[in-house]
Amino acid sequence: MRLLAQVEKQGLDIAEAYRSGDGVSAEAKDFRRFVEKVDHFNVFIDLVEERLPGFEEEKRAALTRHLVDIRWRIIIVEVDTTQIFLVRIGETHKPWPLGSREFLQRRLGRLGEISEYYDRFGEQYQLTPLSEVMLRAVEELLKQQIERAPALTDFSDLSASYAVPAGDFVKPEKMVLRLDPGSGRRAAERRPPLRSEPPPTFRIKEMDGRFYAERDGLVAVSEICRNASLTLDQLATRMGVSRPSLVLMLNGSDPMSRPFMEQLQSFLGKNGPPQL
């Protein structure tokens, strides 16, 4: 299977790049890049598992065991590497980028997913258990960094922190400085406030009778799901597909059928801005 070979290669690349702390820096952006690689690996292994029912029972059982073993090996690397990243980032005392709190909270939730996976398959496939000490250490490190990390909504509270009586001054974002050619003096002129950049819009293009999501499709849909208090997993269930299949379609990698596209647009139309 071509997908299985790709999963094995991705798993090997991750293990070799981050084994024993190699490739781990003290930069938040590198931590995010590592998490993206692991997430991408999990999407592909989910796709392979979806195809297992097409194999004969003996072959299917062998493949299932192989995939569980590969996934668990990468989970061990994921937890160990997460701990090293958090320790090194914490030692620098550098501020986290805006929005990192949500990112770290998802990492905290990921520990619960890992525990559930072991409860489901650990005994059946004789998986090596993760150290409880390490899991608790990673949990505490995440909680510590969550307290330090800014959330996406933090900036909205700044106006209260720096509030001044109305009319005392013209806010910088409402000023344009111009040079008075007669006297050389600068005057502040009021103008309308700047408009904030709108969120990504979900766009679809048609190619040979098939429909593809354009760039930022996954970001746009994820934002609308968040506003609707819905996860991507729940949306995938509602749409009658698996989460990996939904992600590939929203990334523009896989095409959508017309009924699927219309159902998705109906959901987005009810829960978000107009879609194109």
The most confident of the ranges 47-51, 59-63, 248-252 is: 59-63
Instruction: Write out the DSSP string of 77-88.
Output: HHHHHHHHHHHH
Please tell me whether residues 134 and 226 are part of one structural domain.
Answer: no
Please tell me whether residues 14 and 137 are part of one structural domain.
Answer: yes
Query: How far is the C-alpha of 86 from the C-alpha of 21, rounded, in Å?
Result: 12
Which structural domain, as residue segments, surrounds residue 72? Answer: 2-152
Q: Which of 132, 152, 172 is the last residue of a domain?
A: 152
Total domains present in the chain: 2
189 in any annotated domain: no
Please tell me whether residues 227 and 108 are part of one structural domain.
Answer: no
Please tell me whether residues 125 and 243 are part of one structural domain.
Answer: no
195 in any annotated domain: no
Please tell me whether residues 39 and 120 are part of one structural domain.
Answer: yes
Q: Which residue has the higher pLDDT, 143 or 227?
A: 143
232-245: pLDDT as tens digits:
788 888 888 887 77
Average pLDDT over residues 119-125: 93
Where residue 78 falls among pLDDT bands split at 50, 70, 90?
Answer: very high
The CATH number linked to 265 is: 1.10.260
> Which pLDDT does position 188 carry in this prediction?
40
Tokens, residue 212: 């593809």
Residue 120 exposed, middle or buried by CB count within 10 Å (0-12, 13-18, 19+): exposed
101 in any annotated domain: yes
Q: Which of 152, 170, 186 is the last residue of a domain?
A: 152
Q: What sign has the CA pseudo-torsion 200, 204, 205, 207?
A: positive
Where residue 20 falls among pLDDT bands split at 50, 70, 90?
Answer: low
Query: How far is the C-alpha of 183 from the C-alpha of 163, rounded, in Å?
Result: 34
Tokens, residue 216: 């930022």
> Which pLDDT does position 236 carry in this prediction?
86
105 in any annotated domain: yes
> Which pLDDT does position 21 carry in this prediction?
72
Please tell me whether residues 89 and 7 are part of one structural domain.
Answer: yes
Please tell me whether residues 139 and 209 are part of one structural domain.
Answer: no
Query: How far is the C-alpha of 273 from the C-alpha of 276, rounded, in Å?
Result: 10
255 in any annotated domain: yes
Please tell me whether residues 233 and 107 are part of one structural domain.
Answer: no
Average pLDDT over residues 143-164: 65
Please tell me whether residues 210 and 146 are part of one structural domain.
Answer: no
> Which pLDDT does position 233 carry in this prediction?
80
Query: How far is the C-alpha of 170 from the C-alpha of 192, rounded, in Å?
Result: 12
Contact 122, 129 (CB under 8 A): yes
211 in any annotated domain: yes
Where residue 209 falls among pLDDT bands split at 50, 70, 90?
Answer: confident
Does pLDDT of 161 surpass 60? no
Please tell me whether residues 143 and 222 are part of one structural domain.
Answer: no
Does pLDDT of 197 surpass 60? no
159 in any annotated domain: no
Please tell me whether residues 130 and 66 are part of one structural domain.
Answer: yes
Where residue 156 falls among pLDDT bands split at 50, 70, 90?
Answer: very low
Q: Which residue has the higher pLDDT, 223 or 97?
A: 97
> Which pLDDT does position 190 carry in this prediction?
44
> Which pLDDT does position 200 carry in this prediction?
64
> Which pLDDT does position 189 carry in this prediction?
45
How much of the chain, in percent, has pLDDT values that exceed 90? 32
Q: What is the mean pLDDT of the chain?
A: 80
N residues, the chain: 276
**Token pair 């299985």 in the structure block, residue:** 4
Contact 247, 43 (CB under 8 A): yes
181 in any annotated domain: no
Q: Which residue has the higher pLDDT, 105 or 273?
A: 105
Radius of gyration, alpha carbons of the chain: 24
Average pLDDT over residues 51-66: 91
Please tell me whether residues 16 and 144 are part of one structural domain.
Answer: yes
